Chains A and B, each alone.
Chain A
Amino acid sequence: MPVKTVTLNKESFCNDLEVWRAFKEGDTSAYAWLYQRYVDVLYRYAFKIARNPEATKDCVQDLFIELWKNKSRLGDPESVRNYLLKSIRGKVIRYMNRRQHVICNDVLIENYARNQVEPWQSEIIRNEEENHQKKYLQIAITELTSRQKEAVFLKFFSKLSYHEISSVMCISVNAVYNLISQAMENLKHKIDRGQVLAILLVCFTGYLIN
């Protein structure tokens, strides 16, 4: 296999765009680099929407395969990462719409996600105030709506700006503000409630609340 070389633009800050262009030209190593770089964030984001590991895997795989098939027709996005996030989002939503039974089982899936959090009842009594908040917070996050989870993920995990999130989720910047705002309200509400619960738990030591 001949060594493929690409001369890079001196102005480049992060070399994503050069790799993207090399991939479009059919460079398989650049393609592999893109996968390495983005599969994690794409998987995690897709999971927020699909809430199911099989569906998530299928969608991410499909996305990369389609990228390769259509590489010569692709443009140069301002941000490769945001372009990929937006693409996976559309893909997951179409995937789920095709499989109606997944949507109908919303409740089951939410429970599945919730059960991923470790049982906390007995530990809380022994832990400090901060750990109280952490556990409650993690649980509270799983109870957010799907769209709120998406927005929170993009904002705090991927560190996208409000503007970028509006582009990825195809909603207005105001809608993004509202989503995050609602999410923060819900979290605050659950934390406060959780703190009250913690006090009760401490008072009734040894009595586990289900």
Chain B
Amino acid sequence: MDYTNFLLKDFLMNEYFQHWVLEPDEESDAFWTAWLRNHPHQQTVIREARQIVMQLTCDKHAPAPQVYQSMWHVIEKAREEVDMESPHEDPKILKLHKNHSLRNGKRFTPPAVLMAAAIVAVFIAVSILMYVQTGPNSITYRTGNAETRMVVLPDHSTVVLGANTALRLSSDWGPGKSREVWLTGEAYFSVEHLKNHQKFIVHTSTIQVEVLGTKFNVNDYENNTRIVLHSGKIKLTGIKAENNFREIIMEPGEMIDIDENRRIVKSQKVDSAVHTSWKNNYLIFEQTPLRKIAQKLEDNYGLKVKIIISDTSILEREFTARYPAEDLSVLLKALSRSFGISVIQEGDQIIFKDGED
């Protein structure tokens, strides 16, 4: 596609241009900035086109959140009536429940109906009776080995879950309340900033991460937590310092490690892309010692790494490469070649041994 003679309208209509303005990614951003450098005569037009597209994404006709709540009341009432007229067979649902293994399967427990207490108070007594909930319902997303999954939360934030990860939502996501999640495993968060400054809090096994519209990575395996901030600003709370708790505000490019006693173990500046590459399904290693790679294999694939090498100094030798996460065997072959050892997978074990494959 030759954009050289594009007029304003042509840019506005072009889907790749729209994509760059509305949902930019590394690839499109690199393309357009380079193109602009080579075609400076189009800079004014493109700037104008960008402004217009940005304006077009605004929509003025947003009703107050209470409108959606009151609409839901009407819908629920009608639904109850429909169900009373023709009761649906519960056995169908129980069958689903029985057929699926709850241990290794990926579970999805749906969210509760979100009813703000304030709204219930406004409506008449009959309505209140219909919306009583029996105990907390929460939604939990889970992933298995070597699996990444993107999940969209009710507030349109997105979370990419890493392998062997569980993310639980609190049962009362709604206007005016905190958005809280509990994480074990690894997740990359892209949090929507809400107009009412509603907080977004990630609970890990050690600390809480509080955010206000940002992109960051949380790695919480085996009660050690590592946070990498890509863009925006986050606040870490619950960190132990001597006799009291403290908070830390993180800046983009920072990485902080927390141990199981909630103490800061390491704090440094990093290239956040390296630490969040997994969400594009690549494992990136940059001068990573073999010892750490073994840990990564355990975390990512749920395998046990057994090391039977006579010269343990090999474990400190570093490795720099990038591999697709899906194909473990390719990575293992590369490790074997680079380190001069035998790297073999047997069932759910990976064995590092002397001698080459």
Contacts and interface: CB of A to CB of B under 8 A. Distances in A.
A68 B82 contact: yes
A1 B137 CA distance: 10
A190 to B, nearest CB: 11
Interface in B83-100: 88, 92-94, 96-97, 100
A3 B109 contact: yes
A25 B57 CA distance: 36
A153 B88 CA distance: 38
A35 B114 CA distance: 10
Interface residues of B, number: 60
A61 B108 CA distance: 26
Contact of B13 (A19, A35, A130, A180): A180
B203 to A, nearest CB: 21
Contact of B55 (A25, A28, A134, A153): A134
A39 B82 contact: no
- Please indicate which of the listed interface residues A19, A29, A116 has the most CB atoms of chain B within 10 Å of its own CB: A29
B106 A27 contact: no
Contacts of A12: 149
A187 B102 CA distance: 56
Contact of A44 (B59, B135, B147): B59
A184 B152 CA distance: 32
Given A2-B97, A69-B82, A14 B110 contact: no
Given A4-B93, A14-B152, A117 B60 contact: yes
B96 A138 contact: no
B71 interface: yes
Interface string A114-152: 001100000000000010011001100100000000001
Contact of A60 (B71, B100, B134): B71
Nearest to A51: B61
B79 A187 contact: no
Interface residues of A, number: 66
Interface stretch (A93-101, A154-162, A198-206): A154-162
Interface in B173-217: none
A144 to B, nearest CB: 11
A43 B111 contact: no
Interface stretch (B15-23, B237-245, B246-254, B306-314): B15-23
A193 interface: no
B5 to A, nearest CB: 17
A137 B52 contact: yes
A39 B62 CA distance: 11
A48 to B, nearest CB: 8
B68 A39 contact: yes
A30 interface: yes
Contacts of B141: 15
A22 interface: yes
A103 to B, nearest CB: 20
Contacts of B135: 1
B345 to A, nearest CB: 20
B72 interface: yes
A210 interface: no
Interface in A1-32: 1-8, 10, 12-15, 18-19, 22, 25-32
A76 interface: no
Interface string B104-139: 011111111110000000000000000001110101
A43 B61 CA distance: 9
A29 B55 contact: no
A65 interface: yes
Contact of A65 (B78, B106, B144): B78
15 contacts: A1-B137, A3-B137, A5-B108, A12-B149, A19-B110, A27-B110, A30-B110, A32-B72, A33-B139, A39-B71, A44-B59, A57-B67, A156-B53, A159-B22, A185-B9
Q: Which 10 A-B pairs have the closest CB atoms?
A: A29-B110, A156-B56, A7-B100, A32-B113, A65-B78, A26-B88, A7-B105, A64-B75, A8-B106, A36-B154
Interface of B: 8-9, 12-13, 15, 18, 22-23, 51-53, 55-63, 67-68, 71-72, 74-75, 78-79, 82, 88, 92-94, 96-97, 100, 102, 105-114, 133-135, 137, 139, 141, 144, 147, 149-152, 154
Given A156-B57, A159-B23, 19 more contacts: A1-B137, A2-B94, A3-B109, A5-B107, A14-B150, A26-B88, A26-B93, A30-B110, A32-B114, A35-B75, A37-B154, A39-B68, A57-B67, A60-B71, A68-B78, A156-B22, A157-B57, A157-B59, A191-B52
